[in-house]
Amino acid sequence: MAELSGTSLASIIVSASLFVVGVSASFAADQEAPVDPEAYKMMVEAVNARAVWDQDFPGFTADIEINYEGRVHHGRVQVSSKGEVQLTELSAPDTRAQSWAEGWLGEMVFHRMGTQESDDRYREIRMIGQENHPLGPLLVMNDSFNSSFRVDGKVIRQVNRDLGGEVQDSGEPKRVRINVLETAFTPSGKVLPLHFVIHYLNDDEELVAVETLSSRFLRLKQYELPQWRRVITTEDGNMTTAEMTLSRHRLGQGKEAATGRASIR
């Protein structure tokens, strides 16, 4: 199997949109009725319960500290209003540490952007199997990724997708399973995933890599901004641990400092 890094795994997640990124919350009168109305309702409610940034999100800047396997680097991060991530002024330049930080910060930003799509992708979703499963009933899509989800109330607890169309290298994982272990709620009742585990499987459904992620967010005005993330990667019997800490957050051009605000854990 080809060697995987935290950056490549983060890229797989973002490129395949493994967490849902947008859906219309209402049943449009000019569209066909859902195949499974109950499954559709559950999925739409869970998607719309996510904590995402609104269309007025101005971007932000912050200091960043990266600890990659004990090697510590400092720099600056700029996230644009469109979700573009740029890491600059990195002390003791380290390509691997920088790529790791850019990849996983990009993943955190991607899932907060909350892009709305006009195509109602969940209209053909179905509920399959036991409704009393510990993670919620299994909701299955009819799409090119063979996507399925488990929804517990308004929390998406599990995401499953095939990556065959996205991954060309025969040594790369072909399927991912994401289990959300812990969530937090914003003051407005929206859901933030704090701890989750990603399992990467090959064509034979054999486990080839595991990513364990922990996150914290800081609330500035109405936005939950990335504050900290640790990623533990296990692959081929080897373990890699890295974390990043963001501080001195400022929205837009830096006129709004995040001093004295409690983090969301």
Residue type, 48: N
Share of residues in the chain with pLDDT > 90 (%):
65
What pLDDT score was predicted for residue 69? 96
Read off the pTM. 0.84
45: left (phi over 0), alpha (psi -120 to 50) or beta: alpha
Question: Whole-angstrom Cα distance, residue 28 to residue 24?
Answer: 9
What pLDDT score was predicted for residue 23? 42
> Would you place residue 22 in the very low, low, confident or very high pLDDT band (cuts 50, 70, 90)?
very low
pLDDT digits (tens, 9 = 90+) for 129-167: 777 899 999 999 988 899 999 999 999 999 999 986 554
Query: Using an 8 Å Cβ cutoff, are 67 and 242 in contact?
Result: yes
- Average pLDDT, rounded, for the chain: 84
Q: Would you say residue 260 has pLDDT above 80? A: no
Question: Whole-angstrom Cα distance, residue 103 to residue 71?
Answer: 18
What pLDDT score was predicted for residue 170? 53
